[in-house]
Structure 1
Amino acid sequence: MSCQPFNFKGTEGAVSLICWFERTESIFSCSNCIEDCKVKFANDTLTEEALSWWNSFAQLIGIYEAYKIPWSEFKKLLIKKYCPRTEVKKMEDEFYNLTVKGNDIKTYVRRFQELAVLCPTKVPNPEKLIEVFIGRLPRSIKGNVTASKPQTLEEAITIT
């Protein structure tokens, strides 16, 4: 498996940011990256506008302090910067109204996962996230998934 990083420019949009998060976290996992090194590693994959933003941010608090930011906080900073409120509002509306179109479960699952990351305030906890995911499934599938009592979103997706 390749552990090559993927770059983020800051101009690709919200969904690309989420894809960058996922690819970066996959690299963290396969390389056993410790928490203290995650922001530093991720910073090395920023280019163009995103790198300029990071340099300005780090200059204000100092590079060593900037590298100490937990990965979860770093992600929140990037979402705040590269997901404008108007775009987030549209995504929240989409998330609120997201349902399976026809029998296209695969598209529903992918978009649900993207929007769950981009709209974390729409579901207050993992249990509610599972409930929302299952609640929007077609009736023919919903019963089987509910009866299986999934404990995680990934488990609910696998059952689906």
Structure 2
Amino acid sequence: MPLKRTSTSEAPAMTQSAIRKLVADSVTVALEAQAATMENADNTNRNTGERETHVARKCSYKEFMSYQPINFKGTEGAVGLIRWFERTESVFSRNNCTEDCKVKFATGTLIEEALSWWNSFA
């Protein structure tokens, strides 16, 4: 008579909603970390009196893409998200993009799961 498997340590299957929640939670944590980092940098600039001022101008998508921003799939985890933020902010800084352009251009770098999430959000 064959033995029956009685292990109770099998991991339950991940559902789409559980995966979405996991991604959303990771994004929230990464956004909070990025905001704290930016706040610390802003405070440092205020304290030293060396705050940069950029003149916002209308930049073009072609110019934005010429700086080769990285795409974000949504599967890279928190570290990948932070790298995407840093690279995208760097491109914005070089282009002196206006706020309305930043949203349009940054969402243009979202692909796969991240793009699906943005489309459902927007």
| Larger helix fraction of residues | 1
Return the structure number with greater relative CO, CA threshold 8 A, min gap 6: 2
Greater C-alpha Rg: 2
Q: TM class, shorter-chain normalised? A: 0.3 to 0.5
